[in-house]
Amino acid sequence: MGDRLIHEDRLFPADSGTRAVARELYEQVRYLPIVSPHGHTDPRWFADNAPFGNPTELLLAPDHYLYRMLFSQGISLAELGVADRQGAVKADPRTAWQEFAAHFYLFRGTPSAMWLNHVFAELFGIDRVLDASSADFYYDTIDEALKQEAFRPRALFDAFNIEVLATTESPLDPLEHHRRIRSSSWQGRVITSYRPDPVVDPEYQDFGASITLLGEITGENVATWQGYLNAHRNRREYFRSMGATATDHGHPTAQTAKLSPAECEQLYAKVCRGGVRAEDAELFRAQMLTEMARMSVDDGMVMQIHAGAHRNHNDWILENYGRDKGADIPQRVDFVHGLKPLLDELGNEPGLSIILFNLDESTYGRELAPLAGHYACLKLGPPWWFFDSPEGMRRFRELTTETAGFYNTVGFNDDTRAFLSIPARHDVARRVDCSFLARLVAEHRLNLDEARELAADLTYFLPRNTYRLDQQSVPDAAPV
């Protein structure tokens, strides 16, 4: 099934001896449960367990990897069914799908093509290449399947063999869907993560209103710096009660700060007044990374820092379609100097665990591997976003292993809102890691026993342990 779209040996090295080792390692980890400690699926899916919509609404319109590439070749977002800033969708879903199909060749050599072909072949049993001539066949086949029970969110979750799936929510989110999931009879483990950007980044849309709302939700006096910090503590605790073991911080840079309490108070007052200057916004974000790390020392939450995206680079898109519409571009990051204030303050605290994600590959060997290969609190997140790809993963291992080893990395994150692609994404990661290990075996830099152990560690044990997923974070919770 699906042989024309995905090959049994895909992503393994061409050299036959090395490929044989890769295959052997892969067979051992192929069916291990999926641990997904960082992603962006919608918890409502698992709370409601309603059928997914049509193929365009499910697979095309929400996937910025897809529409950014199509946009780059002159196809408008409107034609693809992407909602505009007012939420209006103009395209007919079938017509949008046809447009996509006719341009699917643009994705040759990209991970998107590989993930989608996996989904098409494995999930929908399709064996034809997607192009203009097969567009309707695809649309009808997928649309029909989505109406079946087996394609409901919970059924897919179980079929995907997901052991745990983390979503990401703002402190302002009531976590109602998580509450419903936990109180349901369904055994799937879906947990939240604490993503405070909207109340930490003074340049975030509606920052002032969000702070006010944070005060209301928590009953803390957010007019003061201490009240604001208490509000975070309060929400972190609530998130932990909904299974969270980690926080997540999406910052343009890796800058941290080490201000005195008095300086913090002044700076907080300044950013609350609105009309903040860019350098004050940056300093506040920087200080908040240090504050979040301090809270992690106290409450044991693993801290994830996603640094380096210049968000919404295309003004016209931002104005007409809003945030997060495929116009984010990575930028240079300086971890060495950026992280130093935080590390000076807390870098040697036992139990602190910070996972660094990165969009600037020039830092892998120069900064990240040396930092993670020294500080006990630092670990390297997997290659992310533009680098969550076969070549990106290969470079990550080549550039970090010799200095940081394998055990300062944390396994794979799918980081996706494309729920159907989760097995495909983990499969790519397993194949690429096994191929890297196979090369080390073939070059007699590891022996086969070591490689076997590493394959299982990278696939399953490292994410489970690093994200503290074997611990019940809420003592009184029912087993999930």
In angstroms, give the least distance from the CB of 13 to a copy of itself. 7
In angstroms, give the least distance from the CB of 64 to a copy of itself. 9
Residue of 297, 376, 474, 480 that binds a copy of itself (CB under 8 A): 376
Q: Which span (36-44, 177-185, 264-272, 387-395) binds a copy of itself, by CB under 8 A?
A: 387-395
Q: Write out the binding residues for a copy of itself, residues 258-317 only, by CB under 8 A.
A: 310, 313-317
Residue 329 in contact with a copy of itself, rule: CB under 8 A: yes
Dihedral of alpha carbons 279, 282, 287, 290, sign: negative
From the CB of residue 322, how many other CB atoms can be counted at a distance below 10 Å?
Answer: 16
Residue 366 in contact with a copy of itself, rule: CB under 8 A: yes
Residue 480 in contact with a copy of itself, rule: CB under 8 A: no
Please provide residue 170's backbone torsions phi and psi, each rounded to the nearest 5 degrees. Answer: -75, 150
In angstroms, give the least distance from the CB of 329 to a copy of itself. 5
Residue of 132, 176, 374, 471 that binds a copy of itself (CB under 8 A): 374
Residue of 63, 143, 201, 367 that binds a copy of itself (CB under 8 A): 367
Tell me the number of residues near a copy of itself by CB under 8 A.
92
Q: Which span (174-182, 190-198, 280-288, 374-382) binds a copy of itself, by CB under 8 A?
A: 374-382
Whole-number Å distance between alpha carbons of 379 and 375: 8
Q: Which span (159-167, 175-183, 235-243, 353-361) binds a copy of itself, by CB under 8 A?
A: 353-361
- Residue pair 470/172 in contact (Cβ under 8 Å)? The answer is no
Q: Two tokens at 397? A: 């291992």
In angstroms, give the least distance from the CB of 73 to a copy of itself. 6
Residue 125 in contact with a copy of itself, rule: CB under 8 A: no
Q: Which span (155-163, 195-203, 277-285, 389-397) binds a copy of itself, by CB under 8 A?
A: 389-397
Residue 109 in contact with a copy of itself, rule: CB under 8 A: yes
Residue 127 in contact with a copy of itself, rule: CB under 8 A: no
Question: Which of 415, 406, 313 has its CA nearest to residue 358?
Answer: 415
Q: Two tokens at 125? A: 């049993």
Q: Two tokens at 432? A: 């690429």
Cα separation values, 133 from 20, 129, 139, 361, Å: 37, 9, 11, 39
In angstroms, give the least distance from the CB of 167 to a copy of itself. 25
In angstroms, give the least distance from the CB of 297 to a copy of itself. 14
Q: Write out the binding residues for a copy of itself, residues 440-469 only, by CB under 8 A.
A: 440, 442-447, 450, 453-454
Q: Which span (8-16, 211-219, 271-279, 290-298) binds a copy of itself, by CB under 8 A?
A: 8-16
In angstroms, give the least distance from the CB of 68 to a copy of itself. 5
Burial degree of 414 (CB within 10 A; 0-12, 13-18, 19+) = buried
Residue 471 in contact with a copy of itself, rule: CB under 8 A: no
Toward a copy of itself, which CB reaches closer, 347 or 381? 347
Toward a copy of itself, which CB reaches closer, 158 or 361? 361
Residue 254 in contact with a copy of itself, rule: CB under 8 A: no
